[in-house]
Amino acid sequence: MISFEDFEQLTAFAKHGTLAKAANALHISQPTITRTMKNIEECFGVKLFERGKNRIRLNGTGQIAVEQAEKVLDATRQMMTAVREYDKSLRTIVVESCAPAPLWFAVPQLAKKYPAMTLSSSLAGNDEIMEHVREGSCHVGIVLTPPAEQGIHCRPYLRENLSICLPPNHPALQNAPASLDFRDINGFNCLLRSQLGFWDGLCRREMPASRFLVQEDDDEFQELMRNSTLPVFITNLAKYSEEDMNGRVSVPIIDASANVTYYLVSSKDAGILDAIVSDKNILAIVL
């Protein structure tokens, strides 16, 4: 009897003031709108318009009708998006990691194994990730400690080892040490990337005397790395080019907290974890 297009014509008329302009805006003919307005009026069984000879305008009831029609249209549009979003969520794998590096390997591998799925990856804290995995809103979590709870599938994934990367004449290199710990470099100001996951908090905790110059932008970071003597961190998973290194020396940090193992966790499906672990490219890249 009455359809959404009718309501859209009604609201368009209210918006544009004349039937002609509304018709123009909706790319339909004026007579169509004339008919639709009559149809709506008849459908309500109520006068919605004041009509002159070549003039038509909303009366009080009509204005109420327009308000209500907009509500209905809103509800309808919300419905469409809600249904589509839910459908999309069924086709989306949500990956949350406590650090960026594992995502560089896991996400491409998932994209390859599940080409029909949308991938949504983000950084989060360990507890938050575990909570999302438990409630099902996160399909694959990448965390630092294997959860004790049963019902959660878990696989060891990658190790990441932190090194500090210093210019050759840096005081910390005085005795040409084979390794350092955080205390050795605490107090030196460092260059840091943003979006480092747990690494950010770790550095600030272990090096409370240092200040960190955080760079959001990749290019700016590399620019600063080449043209400053500020220490930067690298890992076995995150290396820089010879050019960027620019003669810097990298020394492993031996603290246990700087050498971590990532674990994949999932509440539903161990298969998806195996699909990530089975990545043949990892060895080539990591070693």
Binding interface with DNA (CB under 7 A) = 5, 18-21, 27-32, 34-39, 49, 51-56
Which residues lie below 8 Å from residue 189, measured CB to CB, with a gap of 6+?
210, 211, 212, 213, 230, 231
Question: Binding of its own copies at residue 278 (CB under 8 A)?
Answer: no
Question: C-alpha distances in angstroms, 64 versus 10, 50, 71?
Answer: 12, 14, 11
Assigned token pair, 141: 């979590």
CB 103 within 8 A of CB 95: yes
**In this structure, is the dihedral angle defined by the CA atoms of residues 197, 160, 95 and 137, taken in order, positive or negative?**
negative
Minimum distance, C-beta of residue 46 to DNA, in the bound complex (Å)? 16
Residue among 48 and 142 whose Cβ is closer to DNA: 48
CB 156 within 8 A of CB 265: no
Minimum distance, C-beta of residue 69 to DNA, in the bound complex (Å)? 16
Can you tell me the distance from the alpha carbon of 250 to that of 4, in angstroms, rounded to the nearest whole number? 66
Question: Binding of its own copies at residue 78 (CB under 8 A)?
Answer: yes
Assigned token pair, 246: 């620019």
CB 143 within 8 A of CB 129: yes
Where in 48-67 is the site for its own copies (CB under 8 A)?
48, 60-61, 64-65
Question: Binding of its own copies at residue 4 (CB under 8 A)?
Answer: yes
Q: How many other CB atoms sit within 10 Å of the CB of residue 250?
A: 16
Minimum distance, C-beta of residue 63 to DNA, in the bound complex (Å)? 16
Residue among 6 and 160 whose Cβ is closer to DNA: 6
Member of 27, 54, 80, 115 binding its own copies (CB under 8 A): 80
Name the binder of 115 from DNA, its own copies, none, CB < 5-8 A by kind.
Answer: none
Minimum distance, C-beta of residue 75 to DNA, in the bound complex (Å)? 21
Question: Binding of its own copies at residue 286 (CB under 8 A)?
Answer: no
Q: Which residues bind its own copies (CB under 8 A)?
A: 1-5, 44-48, 60-61, 64-65, 68-69, 71-72, 75-76, 78-80, 82-84, 86-87, 90
